[in-house]
Chains A and B, each alone.
Chain A
């Protein structure tokens, strides 16, 4: 048995995990005090998820010792981690959508007897929700009816009800809107006040500074440093994560695009239940952003343009040629490239090698009479990988093993290397992506602008919209509020438009 520092609830020594292609985590040690809120920061693929999965017994380490409250344990599975007081809200949520909030809170718990409609369980679930400031929620509602942010809170309540002492959250805010993030922050502060320890993995540095006491930085599987937050600035933290100075997130806008003609014209776009009567023109060589919150219709516009909405109607033309909506025709014809927000569900092909994922829609140009030349495919894949700067052991590994940022780059690879500039439609293009990869993707987007692409993106990240857009169309409940161009693209007016456009100008601080 190993004793560590007095108040240490969690002590990790020399934790190591190797995969066939790479070392995900190498000799990582740190100590978490009771009541401490620790952030873990690092680029995509730094090993953050691997680290928390090892704490939870989901992944078995190749070496190292994990001590909980002073006692070393070999954590074999999630049940054991649960009994030790560790609880995880995973990067992918794990609730059963058809069951009620109550059932989800107790699902898989070791305490639940066979017949589990016990009033004490009900009371404890209610109490856990009350702790989080949402005691008024109906325990019998099905989870499927909740928003993602609310589900996140159910996951946390589930851990509290099991008396978790250390809460581990892996990128909880990646898919939340600003308002939901604020709610989650409140909840986490409440938990912190009650003396729970939290391990908080996030790419959003604002949250780190707002919530956490200290930060551990991982880089390429190595533990770089652990520091109190007050000794760090945003810039110094980014530098620690990247291992180099970080110059500029947003590349400069191209000057007036006199060189490009034509573009995409949308007239009277209707998407039942989502978008009403939207008309805009997106010139080549510019980035047009649809800004709006969840339910504003920004996502629906992009999906309709990609042909993924069966019931969308409207007149769409590219350079004056009409394209058909309501089927995947424009994508099929190669005129539109779509980058989805749901990378795992409809983005990459997780079981297939990186190479296949790079050349997806370009197989035709590597083949003759339908027969592929693998030499040409390899050459093209190498070329594309270099253009979008994918980093992985080799192009033969399953793309599902890549980190989020690299997976996203695979999607962007579909846009580059085309004979003629296309229309690139993106939905939340940098969701869950680290700062370094983000900047690279932004640079790539600008490069495509320079080549005469039309870029359209829907984003709920206003900083990103202001940083990247040449034209911003703000949406509220399916309707266009306003359209800003050039110098008129400014944060306050956009924020007002998407929150509630009916309040007149003067009243917003």
Chain B
């Protein structure tokens, strides 16, 4: 028996060594500390990078994260509702962009935008119905949807882009609010709407409950399936907004628009600290995650790292954060 203990004199239990003190912190405290340290380091790196604070770099950072950010906010809703991750949002972005360009060429923007929004939320609702009512596996459903959308788009577009007949006016594209690009303003609005939904509406609270325990929600007399359909519809609509903004900015649309957005959005959600197991998280956190990833990428770019390195380092950060997060279902 004694063999189990190599040390001859065990330390008294109450003694407070620095290591002991560290061990006594629970997972969330350690995480908070590491987060803070990381963000501080990032700030220093950003400020020390020449050109970071100059207008163009910052502007392009804000514009870029706005597109992915809309998707990430939708992804947050889906994740909190307990459905791990949606891998169809990138495809929804591309398809919505196609819809808005095609429709605006035919009958003008005023009709095209609501149509594209409706399209996005319908695509989400169908997936939500499959997942919420039939309890189909969310990853399989969303991957299948994504494949379906890419497959369906191919014969329609013939792998070419759709071009807008009437390009968006420059005055709209260059519009600024408090010095921020219009896309960023839209993104922040969506973020606030989503956070409002989560914190202050019955729907939002239901999302948390369903995400924490689907069975408990059912036994309590909530409508978990309806909540899940709602969450996916919102995610679809938010992705459609990203698609619309991309289409308007570039005056064209193609299925390449949403490519890779799923993964970047997932990274933002995870880095922000929304629980993969559902029931916990917030849109604001995802915003923080989005900013962190965005800043890292700009710093890397300005420091002269190549694209591949950017992906690699972003991946490492996501992995690190996921490893630090407490095990699910504690």
Contacts and interface: CB of A to CB of B under 8 A. Distances in A.
Interface of A: 1, 60-66, 68-69, 71-74, 80, 83-85, 306, 308, 328, 331-332, 334, 336-338, 340, 345-352, 356, 360-361, 363-364, 367, 370-372, 374, 400, 414
Interface stretch (B200-208, B231-239, B299-307): B200-208
Contact of A367 (B4, B13, B202): B202
Contacts of B9: 1
B205 A363 contact: yes
Interface in B17-38: 23-24
Contacts of A69: 1
B330 to A, nearest CB: 8
B212 interface: yes
Contact of B1 (A74, A83, A349, A356): A83
A191 B228 CA distance: 51
Given A351-B279, A361-B220, A74 B4 contact: no
A162 B227 CA distance: 48
Given A80-B4, A328-B221, A367-B201, A65 B13 contact: yes
A501 B125 CA distance: 53
B213 A370 contact: no
B202 A73 contact: no
B203 A370 contact: yes
Contact of A73 (B10, B23, B215): B10
A64 B11 CA distance: 11
B221 A349 contact: no
Nearest to A306: B219
A55 to B, nearest CB: 13
Contact of A84 (B1, B213, B223): B1
B205 A372 contact: yes
B212 A334 contact: no
A328 B209 contact: no
16 contacts: A62-B24, A85-B1, A308-B219, A328-B223, A332-B223, A334-B221, A336-B221, A346-B215, A346-B219, A350-B213, A352-B212, A352-B279, A364-B202, A367-B201, A370-B201, A414-B220
Given A66-B13, A350-B213, 8 more contacts: A62-B24, A63-B14, A68-B1, A71-B5, A84-B4, A347-B216, A356-B205, A367-B201
Contacts of A66: 13
Nearest to B3: A83
A52 B201 CA distance: 42
A351 B280 contact: yes
Interface in B307-330: 330
B219 A347 contact: yes
Contacts of B222: 360-361
Contact of A372 (B10, B24, B201, B208): B201
Given A63-B13, A69-B1, A349 B219 contact: no
- Among B201, B209, B216, B222: residue with most chain A CB under 10 A: B216
Contacts of B106: none
B218 interface: yes
Contact of A74 (B13, B212, B218, B330): B13
A60 B14 CA distance: 11
A62 B15 CA distance: 9
Interface of A is mostly: mixed
Nearest to A334: B221
Contacts of A346: 213, 215-216, 218-219
Contact of B279 (A73, A84, A308, A349): A349
Contact of A361 (B4, B10, B208, B221): B221
Contact of B212 (A73, A308, A351, A364): A351
A367 B317 CA distance: 41
A112 B275 CA distance: 35
A332 B225 CA distance: 12
B216 A328 contact: no
A352 B208 contact: yes
A347 B203 CA distance: 20
A83 B4 contact: yes
A69 B223 CA distance: 56
Nearest to A18: B24
Nearest to A61: B13
- Pick the 8 closest A-B CB pairs, nearest first: A331-B221, A346-B215, A63-B14, A83-B4, A349-B212, A351-B279, A346-B219, A363-B202
- Among B5, B209, B221: residue with most chain A CB under 10 A: B221
Nearest to A330: B221
Contacts of A345: 213, 215-216
A80 B10 CA distance: 14
Contacts of B202: 363-364, 367, 370-372
Contacts of A68: 1
B12 interface: yes
Contact of B5 (A73, A367, A400): A73
B218 A328 contact: yes
A371 B4 CA distance: 59
- Among A308, A349, A372: residue with most chain B CB under 10 A: A349
A74 B222 CA distance: 47
A312 to B, nearest CB: 15
Given A60-B24, A61-B13, A73-B5, A356 B209 contact: yes
A335 B121 CA distance: 33
Contacts of A338: 219-221
Contacts of A350: 212-213
Given A371-B201, A372-B200, A349 B216 contact: yes
Contacts of A334: 221
Given A346-B213, A349-B279, A372-B201, A71 B2 contact: yes
B251 to A, nearest CB: 38
B219 A64 contact: no
B104 to A, nearest CB: 32
Contacts of B14: 62-64
B5 to A, nearest CB: 6
B49 to A, nearest CB: 39
Interface string B279-310: 11000000000000000000000000000000
A90 to B, nearest CB: 15
Nearest to B278: A351
Contacts of B216: 345-349
A202 to B, nearest CB: 25
A61 B12 CA distance: 11
A21 to B, nearest CB: 13
Contact of A360 (B24, B201, B220): B220
Contacts of A61: 13
A301 to B, nearest CB: 15
Contacts of A332: 221, 223
A81 to B, nearest CB: 10
Given A347-B219, A350-B213, A356 B208 contact: yes
Nearest to A399: B212
Contacts of B275: 351
A349 to B, nearest CB: 4
Contacts of A372: 200-202, 205
A331 B9 CA distance: 61
Nearest to B225: A328
B123 to A, nearest CB: 24
B23 to A, nearest CB: 7
B11 A74 contact: yes
Contact of B13 (A1, A64, A347): A64
- Among A372, A400, A414: residue with most chain B CB under 10 A: A372
